[in-house]
Structure 1
Amino acid sequence: MQEDYYEILGVARDASAETIKKAFRKLALEFHPDRNQGDKESEEKFKKINEAYQILSDDQKRRMYDRYGKEGISGAYGGAGGGGFDFGSIFGDFFEQAFGGGGRSRPSDPYGIDTELAVTLEFKEALEGVHKEIKYKIKKPCPTCDATGSKDKKKHTCSACGGTGRVAVRRGYMSFIQSCSECGGTGEIVKDRCKDCGGKGFTEEDVSLKFDIPAGIDDGQRVRLSGKGNVSKTGEIGDLYVIVRVKEDSHFLRDGDDLYIEVPVFFTQAILGENIEVPTPRGKAELKLKVGTKDKQRFTIYGEGAPNIRTKKNGDLIVQVNVQTPKKLNEKQETLLRELQESFGSKGGDDEGILDKIKNFFK
């Protein structure tokens, strides 16, 4: 059975690009061969980590992988990994991105065709779903310079890397091959920049878009809007990935599809096991306490949690009881409580009362 790239990096299938990069960084540092010399198992693990990152860090390859699995990657790109594995090249690309460099662009385009942005939702909006309008910019090839970035529509060989787009860099005891900072990894430079795009090779267009965010979406998840991304030189249109950020709620905490809430309960209600009213995301629900309910005891109200974004089935609401006791008593209340306390004393015979058991514990 083939290993899943998301499982190799330990991330969810809807993880953002930043989450994937952080996961790769942590694992790559742990299993890099220079840190585990002679350890074949670590070397194989490192190969798998890098193979997974190669695919999931590239928007187009990731899209193919999500749709068709490894077979889709093999068919479109001639295989994902295999012989001739270059530790320095891949690890160098990562360090360049992690420590201030720009990711290597594809020679055909000066930018990725997929793009992403973040939106912030109220807690209730995430649970119920919401219709949103966003404004963002998309990149399109500059028509003036035919996306070359050059006034004369020509590019010249980069002298820093000799046209390879790669340079050797040494950091401490490790050597890396990384993208050339002069040409951005393309191996070509512009001598006379296009006035319309400033040498970038693309222009930006303001876009307004309305779309639906499904009920049950959680913080950090992404919504993919097909065909709403950047436009390539060949006319291919990428996707827009909307990363959702959800504000915290003053009452509920969320863990997956389950919600948690703490409710105050007067001590007599807890002792007697009364019915209490509990707030839910959809209104209110009645909860029957057990006789002698303890502080911090939990109860479950089934089906009152967050809806699962795929199955649409609701999770549960976990209610934690916070037993409240009075800080001040009037004379009548104190008398009644003392009578109650005495009633829990010894009943006579061999059977100890609750109060006697507590007293005897400390003898």
Structure 2
Amino acid sequence: MSKDFYSILGVSRDASPEDIKKAYRKLSKELHPDKHKGDKAREQKFKEINEAYEALADPQKRKTYDQFGSVGNGGSSGSSGSGGFGGFDFSGFSGQGGDAGGIGDLFETFFGGQRGRAPKKEEQRGRDLEMRVQITFAESVSGVQKKISVRRLQPCEACRGQGNAPGAASVPCSDCHGTGQITRTVQSFFGAIRQSVQCNKCSGSGKVPEKMCPTCDGEGRVLSSGDVMVDIPGGIADGQTIRLRGYGEAGRRSASSGDLYVRINVQTDARFVREGDDIHTSVSMSVLQAILGDDISVDTVHGSIAWRIPAGTQPAQVFRLKGKGMPSVKGHGHGDHYVTVMLKVPTKLTREERKLFEEWKRIVRS
């Protein structure tokens, strides 16, 4: 009988990949054998959640499982083969019987994602930053350029971000011998496993300054403030974010910089209600204007325009002004402007006005 991988991970069948990953990580921490040594039941459960995650994390395997209730090659059999890893069955994770490429996160946890291959150098990228900028509603229509002050780690000018003192060179890191990785031994339910991790001393670059820059203490970056110009496109909505690549904090010793995320806050305008790229407003008019029609002025996000009210306009009737809404933030086209008619009924009449309305009533009744 096939296993219900969704139930094992505690997620619904329409769960997103991110939800599945979160559920797996949570259960993996709770049921890890290192926390419950000798508990066979929890060890079996740990195997099951890894098997379930492996099937659901891969889009193709998940599609196959949803259609047929298994992922093939024993992926849902739950058999406990006699391989070299404490009886854990990897048959469901192998593609063509060669590299067990499907086990993904499990190997990544214990082997640093390398699976026996030569470790890749990964330099320490700078941290991403987030800031907020407030603009007016009118600026959100036309677009605007804003200057913001950002205090962040920036490349050291004295050493040009290298971390070396003047005249000094970079030399291979003594901790990792220039590889950018160090090997450590961790204990798992598989036994003792050698794991490659990024070297802290060189931040994965494999090199360190022969002599440290006195300005930045060999970091290659210093804390300073500077102005950044942000081009905000017309049509941007409240809460949207603009990403400025490379404007985050500088990486250590010439490693790549992080990004700056600018979240836009748009002030409201009492005249307009925005829905997507469409704008909604209302106009008040008299009963006579609605009956006879009239020329009036309508405020739009692009300015005031002349508009003809057609004769016989009804209360709460909605009219569409095509292309008079917000510009698309992608740079092409506009939304529409919808006008709702609100009738003003007079509460006080002059003697002459009342006489005219009475005459009109008599005519209508006759």
Aligned partner of residue 353 in structure 2, secondary structure: helix
Letter in 1 for 2:358: R
Aligned partner of residue 251 in structure 1, secondary structure: coil
Match of 1:127 among 141, 149, 169: 141
Unmatched tracts of structure 2, length 5 or more:
1-13, 29-44, 60-100, 110-120, 165-172, 176-182, 189-196, 202-214
How far has the Cα of 1:110 moved from its partner? Answer: 8.1
Unmatched tracts of structure 1, length 5 or more:
1-7, 11-22, 50-81, 91-105, 148-152, 156-162, 169-184, 190-195, 348-363
CA contact (8 A) 1:221 1:243 kept: yes
Partner residue in 1 for 2:307 = 287
Q: Matches of 1:293 and 1:27 in 2, distance apart?
A: 56
1:109 maps to 2:124: yes
| Residues 296-322 of structure 1: CA deviation (Å, up to 9, x unaligned) | 211111221111122332221111111
Partner residue in 2 for 1:118 = 132
Match of 2:356 among 336, 341, 356: 336
Letter in 2 for 1:281: V
- Residue pairs, 1:42-61, within 5 angstroms: 47=57
- Residue pairs, 1:191-210, within 5 angstroms: 203-210=222-229
How far has the Cα of 1:43 moved from its partner? Answer: 6.4
| Cα distance, 1:342–1:28 mapped onto 2, change above 3 Å | farther
| Cα distance, 1:9–1:322 mapped onto 2, change above 3 Å | farther
Match of 2:232 among 193, 213, 219: 213
- Residue pairs, 1:306-317, within 5 angstroms: 306-317=326-337
Letter in 1 for 2:273: L
| Residues 58-108 of structure 1: CA deviation (Å, up to 9, x unaligned) | xxxxxxxxxxxxxxxxxxxxxxxx722549x99xxxxxxxxxxxxxxx985
How far has the Cα of 1:325 moved from its partner? Answer: 0.9
Match of 2:265 among 231, 235, 245: 245
Match of 2:284 among 260, 264, 285: 264
Partner residue in 2 for 1:323 = 343
Aligned partner of residue 235 in structure 2, secondary structure: coil
Q: TM-score, normalised by structure 2?
A: 0.52
| Cα distance, 1:188–1:235 mapped onto 2, change above 3 Å | closer
Aligned partner of residue 102 in structure 2, secondary structure: coil
Letter in 2 for 1:130: V
- Residue pairs, 1:63-74, within 5 angstroms: none
Letter in 2 for 1:303: G
| Cα distance, 1:343–1:86 mapped onto 2, change above 3 Å | farther
Partner residue in 1 for 2:11 = none
How far has the Cα of 1:282 moved from its partner? Answer: 2.4
CA contact (8 A) 2:125 2:255 kept: no
| Cα distance, 1:186–1:43 mapped onto 2, change above 3 Å | closer
Q: Matches of 1:303 and 1:247 in 2, distance apart?
A: 23
Q: TM-score, normalised by structure 1?
A: 0.52
| Cα distance, 1:43–1:167 mapped onto 2, change above 3 Å | same
Letter in 2 for 1:109: Q
Partner residue in 2 for 1:353 = none
How far has the Cα of 1:208 moved from its partner? Answer: 0.8
CA contact (8 A) 2:126 2:257 kept: no
How far has the Cα of 1:268 moved from its partner? Answer: 1.3
Aligned partner of residue 263 in structure 1, secondary structure: strand
Give the ranges of 4+ consecutive aligned residues of structure 1 lying more than 6 Å apart after TM superposition.
42-46, 141-144, 185-189
CA contact (8 A) 1:9 1:27 kept: no
| Cα distance, 1:44–1:304 mapped onto 2, change above 3 Å | farther
- Residue pairs, 1:216-231, within 5 angstroms: 216-231=235-250
How far has the Cα of 1:326 moved from its partner? Answer: 0.9
Q: Matches of 2:174 and 2:262 in 1, distance apart?
A: 36
- Identity, in percent, stands at 29
Q: Matches of 2:155 and 2:298 in 1, distance apart?
A: 57
Aligned partner of residue 271 in structure 1, secondary structure: helix
Aligned partner of residue 330 in structure 2, secondary structure: coil
| Cα distance, 1:110–1:209 mapped onto 2, change above 3 Å | closer
| Cα distance, 1:220–1:339 mapped onto 2, change above 3 Å | same
| Rg comparison, structure with higher value | 2
Q: Matches of 1:136 and 1:259 in 2, distance apart?
A: 34
Aligned partner of residue 289 in structure 2, secondary structure: helix
- Residue pairs, 1:140-219, within 5 angstroms: 140=154, 203-219=222-238
Q: Matches of 1:327 and 1:84 in 2, distance apart?
A: 77
How far has the Cα of 1:228 moved from its partner? Answer: 1.9
